[in-house]
Structure 1
Amino acid sequence: MARYAFIVPADLPGPSGGLAYNQRVLAQWRTMGLDVEEVPVPGAWPRPAPADRRILAQRLRQHRRVLIDGIIASAAPEELRVAAAAGTRVAMLVHLPLPAESGLTPGEQQRLAAGEAAAVSAAHVVVCTSGWAHDDLQSRYGLGQVSVAEPGVDPAALAAGSLPARLLFLGAVTPRKNPLGLLQALGVLTALPWSVVIAGPEGQDPGYAGRVRAAADALPDGRAAVIGPVSGQQLETLWGETDLLVLPSLAETYGMVVTEALARGIPALVGAGTGAQDALCGDPTGPRSELPTPGAALDPYDPSAWSDLLRAWSSDAHLRQQWRRAAQAHRARLRTWSHAAQDLRTAIEW
């Protein structure tokens, strides 16, 4: 049996930033020679069936040192407490504080917060993936110590872009990610030359996804395409055709797609006050701190502000070139996945 175990969800729809983070860190640890086992647990986390929680309890009993994905841990605080009492050292990795998800009823938000509060209390170590999540967890639950292990990014070829300019929304089609707000902002700019692709899984909220498709279809001249999840060569081709990433999320822990865009020399517009702003600008004390911003952060609740800046970007070649040069400067100073894996390993003392 491996010395360490990383307990991850087996059945979550993807692709997602959290699942990608888990897989990349595991791959780096194995490259480092760390003896760690990936332990998938079935269930519709964070709303598991009793049988799913029993399987989790069994998996926890089988290992002495575990790291558990927060979407599982937050829904099973009692299982964590029992395992910790029996001698298992439990570290909890929070990708997104669950009550920060949009579209929740007050009752759902309260239930998720109660479970997450109990889980972070039961865990020996809590780690999150951004400064934004660190501040949220500390203020929400009064935690004394939360470590941060930001994501890394893979090197990538510079994007060639498109003519007319191509905008890309890449993420789950959900209210929190706010693609409907983006389409609303673009709806008043149809006299300008641009196209937009909305790519990502739609299964979490089919009703909302339907409204997004209807809004895209309402734009003239086939300007907007909603294409579902993409991966592999299809995703690489899409990146190569992109001139600007647009991520108007209402809440975002980090926004790995932002640094993935920067790795290709693509600037981004992101939601102000979210973790995506941290991804765009970099750590205030880090190697990107003195570089110009490769895009901008805007109030995600203000479509008119997005319309105004998208109008300026679309009509001003100098602004486009300025942002692209800034993105290329950031490209040379991005964190790698080996940095992320080492930071997480240090935090959980593996």
Structure 2
Amino acid sequence: MTRLALVTWTAREPSGGNTFNRELVDALRAGGADVTIRAVPGEWPTAAPADRAVLAAELAAARARDETVLVDAIVACGAPAEVGAAVAAGTTVAVLLHMLPSDVAGLAVAERQRRAAAEAAALRAASVVICPSSAAAEDLVRRYGVRAHVAAPGTRPVPPAAGTRPPAPPAVGTRPPAPPELMALANLVPGKDQVTLVRALAQVRDLAWTARLVGATGVDPAYTAVVRGEIAAAGLTDRVTLTGAKVGAALEAEWARTDLLVLSSRSETFGLVVLEALAHGVPAVVPAGTGAVEALASGSVGAGGLSGRAPDGAVPPGRAVATDPAEPPGRAVPPGDPDALAATFREWLTSPPLRDAWAAAARERRGRLPGWDVTAAQVLAALAQPM
């Protein structure tokens, strides 16, 4: 039996990385692996020496139990010396890279450089690096010369979203349909760039729509205040709602009413919310040049879920992502560009055929998305082939 330990941290708010870890553990266990979860204390990736000592002890204990260790990159990249020492002592340490700590928006130059140096050392010292997309894998090669395996996120079966658009024109005398519902599912932090989203929405205020920003507002209160200020300044307080974080049934209720997901991030290694949108049959607008473009291609014809991977999950640099020849379930827009995002909104809002095509493409993808069992198999294949 495969014996694994997942070493992670305790995050205060929901995130795609936490979802990935939880679903991966469930899928590994369902496949027969013995997986334990160990959360180390600390404010990672800038944990105190005492917290790094706890990590070192966990890595040593895993070696004594003959466990292969999966370490969340937020932890590993904050403790390159501890990762290197564990590998040198004979522990197989695989880093699960959901994002690079140096990519957090708003960091001072010195702190960004410090984090980049630490993450380079940790990733080079690791036995294996596993990331969620070929875009992320290629980025690691460019930045640090580190070759990574890809384990793309999976999905669970979920109900299709009803949205707001009726399947046929309303009969004479009936209530007109509700305006289209846009959802941005991300914690309110600078890297998710909800400011650009609000500025784009301000440019289409003449059209009918409503938008919900679903995500934690307390991670960066100052940035949340900036977003609220942008909404007020644009006169959109009655049309743009900040709901706070939602999970479980409350989040499913948000998906049920959604017509379009908008991900306005400056960077994304994958963008699990895009895959969740497709699982609900909801199209998405994503940031171009990021891993979210790959997420939007999930389930495309000939891709086998996500294309561009070798059978073992490794991605050769430069491999392209295949897409369906028909209309895709959304569009990639340059990040940080409110004008381009607004133009996409205007086209989608004023063109019923385009809305229908995106929605049909998203619904068609639902049956071809990879499950978390595929992700687990890719992780196990990567562990069998240390770098």
> Shorter-chain TM-score category?
over 0.9
**In the alignment, residue 227 of structure 1 is paired with which amino acid?**
T
Distance in 2, Cα, partners of 1:182 & 1:304: 10
Matches within 5 A, 1:27-66: 27-64=26-63, 65-66=68-69
CA distance in 1, matches of 2:337, 2:273: 22
- 1:195 aligned to 196, 210, 222, which one? 210
The offset of 1:206, in angstroms, is 1.6
Superposition map of 1:111-260 within 5 A = 111-143=114-146, 145-162=147-164, 163-218=178-233, 219-220=235-236, 222-260=238-276
Deviations 1:292-350 (A, max 9, x none): 31110001121111111101111221111111011112212111111111111111129
C-alpha separation between the residues in 2 aligned to 1:282 and 1:23? 21
**How many Å separate the matches in 1 of 2:384 and 2:7?**
16
TM-score, with normalisation over the residues of structure 2?
A: 0.86
The separation in 2 between residues aligned to 1:262 and 1:85, in whole angstroms, is 42
Preserved contact between residue 13 and residue 201 of structure 1 (Cα < 8 Å): no
* Structure 1 partner of 2:317: none
* 1:286 paired residue number: 303
SS of equivalent to 1:222: coil
Match of 2:89 in 1: 86
Distance 2:217 2:115 in 1: 22
Q: CA RMSD in A?
A: 1.6
In 1, are the aligned partners of 2:189 and 2:223 still within 8 Å (CA)?
yes
Aligned to 1:103: 106
> 1:3 is matched with which residue?
3
Report deviation, 1:204: 3.0
Shift of 1:161: 0.9
**Structure 2 SS opposite 1:62:** helix
Letter matched to residue 157 of structure 1 = P
Q: Which amino acid aligns with 1:16?
A: S
**Is the aligned partner of 1:301 residue 2:317?**
no
- Total equivalences in the alignment: 347
Structure 1 residues 178-223: Cα deviation after superposition (integer angstroms, max 9, x where no partner): 1110000001211111000001113332211111122223434610
Q: Which residue is equivalent to 2:310? A: none
Pair 1:245–1:100, CA change in 2 (3 A): same
Unaligned runs of 5+ in 2: 165-177, 306-322
**1:74 correspondence with 2:74:** no
Distance in 1 (CA, whole Å) between partners of 2:8 and 2:108 is 26
SS in 2 for 1:159: coil
Q: Deviations over 1:267-289 (max 9, x none)?
A: 01111001111101238851463
The one-letter code sitting in structure 1 at the alignment partner of 2:303 is G
Change (3 A) 1:209 1:252: same
CA distance in 1, matches of 2:230, 2:211: 12
Residue 373 of structure 2: aligned partner: 338
Query: Which moved further from structure 2: 322-331 or 233-242?
Result: 322-331
Moved more, 206-215 or 167-176: 206-215
User: Equivalent residue for 1:15?
Assistant: 14
Q: Which 5+ residue runs of structure 1 have no aligned equivalent?
A: none
Alignment check: 8 A CA contact 1:117 1:141 kept: yes
Q: For each residue in 1:223-270, what CA deviation from the matched residue of structure 2 results, as whole angstroms up to 9, or x when unmatched? A: 000011001111000000000000011100100110111111110111
Q: Give the letter for the 2:275 counterpart.
A: T
Which of 319, 322, 333 in structure 1 is aligned with 2:357?
A: 322
CA distance in 1, matches of 2:9, 2:47: 11
After TM superposition, the structure 1 stretch with the greater mean CA deviation from structure 2, 289-298 or 56-65, is 289-298
Which residue number corresponds to residue 313 of structure 1?
A: 348
Give the partner amino acid of 1:263.
A
Q: 1:209 to 1:220 in 2, by over 3 A?
A: closer
Cα distance, 1:86 vs structure 2: 1.9
Give the equivalent residue in structure 1 for 2:293. 277
Q: 1:287 to 1:66 in 2, by over 3 A?
A: closer
**TM-score between both structures, scaled by the size of structure 1:** 0.95
Q: Secondary structure at the match of 2:205?
A: coil
Identity, % of aligned positions: 41
